[in-house]
Amino acid sequence: MKSIKLTSGVERKIRFNKSNVKKFLLVNFKLNLLENFPQIPERYALSIKRSGYLPGFELDNEGLEMKFPVQEVPLDPRNDYIAIAPGSKHFTKRWPEYHFAVLCRMILDSGAIPVLIGGTSDLKICSAIQESEPGVINLCSENELFRISSILAQCKAAVTCDSGLMHLSCAVKTPVLVIFGSTVQEFGFTPYKNKSIVIENDSLSCRPCSHIGKSYCPQKHFKCLTDIQPADVFESLSRLVYED
């Protein structure tokens, strides 16, 4: 169980069922009892409604929102930018940096400009991608949420792993392409009510190996992410950006 804190004059906490047993069964026995489960925002909202603390509470149809002071960033509005967020806390959720470098080359060849974003923990991987493809713009810095939001808001789309920047892209209404590795969509952490494409390797019997990610591949092959090719990601990205 998890607590949701509401602050509306009086602070209240609501218990939220995290479905840990169902997650355990899916990870360890591949028994999927989470199929067609609502996404996490809807599950939180249902817990709030059931509590009775906010009578009439309903989610709107606008998805996530991020209210923030827009910051000036070094991007020319005449150019097409694609945000690239290669980081994630756990190794098994990070598409390899060499794949990201190839994708960046494809984006550059198409006439758009990749913009690397992330926080403190992503500085190393962003620097490695920039070293491979000097044509990218590396705006990865410290954990500056408002600055990252301002960058995302100026991009035509974002490419992310299963990470917080996927959700931030949705909150500023930037179309997002998400690459899933060891985790799966059934856990509920997918783009919410935003233009998006999810790419995952669903041919593997070992997925998911964790509901939050791991520091290593238990099977020692990491095919869930290494087998996802940059050409396929670029093709999906082109559809996301240019098709209605």
Contacts of 22 (CB under 8 A, 6+ apart): 33, 34
Same domain, 191 and 128: yes
Same domain, 36 and 141: no
pLDDT tens, residue by residue, 57-100:
888 989 999 899 999 999 999 999 999 999 999 999 999 999 99
Same domain, 165 and 46: no
Same domain, 38 and 90: no
- Which whole number is the average pLDDT over 32-40? 91
- Cα–Cα distance, 99 to 10 (Å, whole number): 49
Q: With 80 as the cut, is the pLDDT of residue 169 above it?
A: yes
Same domain, 108 and 148: yes
pLDDT band at 9 (very low <50, low <70, confident <90, very high): low
Q: With 70 as the cut, is the pLDDT of residue 3 above it?
A: no
The answer to whether the pTM exceeds 0.85 is: yes
Same domain, 123 and 234: yes
Residue 201 lies in a domain: yes
- Which whole number is the average pLDDT over 231-238? 98
- Which whole number is the average pLDDT over 116-136? 97
Residue 65 lies in a domain: no
Same domain, 92 and 155: yes
Looking from the CA of 43 toward its CB, the CA atoms found within 13 Å total: 19
- 222 in helix, strand or coil? coil
Q: What is the CATH number of the domain that holds 171?
A: 3.40.50.2000
By DSSP bridging, strand 10-16 and strand 137-138 are unpaired
Same domain, 41 and 138: no
- Cα–Cα distance, 180 to 190 (Å, whole number): 10
Average pLDDT, the chain: 93
Residue 195 lies in a domain: yes
Same domain, 24 and 136: no
Same domain, 31 and 147: no
What is the span of the domain harbouring residue 122? 81-242
Residue 76 lies in a domain: no
CA angle 50, 51, 52 (to 5 degrees): 90
Same domain, 20 and 89: no
Same domain, 108 and 215: yes
Counting the structural domains of the chain, the total is 2
**Per-residue b or e along 176-202, where b marks 16 or more CB atoms closer than 10 Å to that residue's CB:** bbbbbbbbbbbbbbbbbbbbbbbbbee
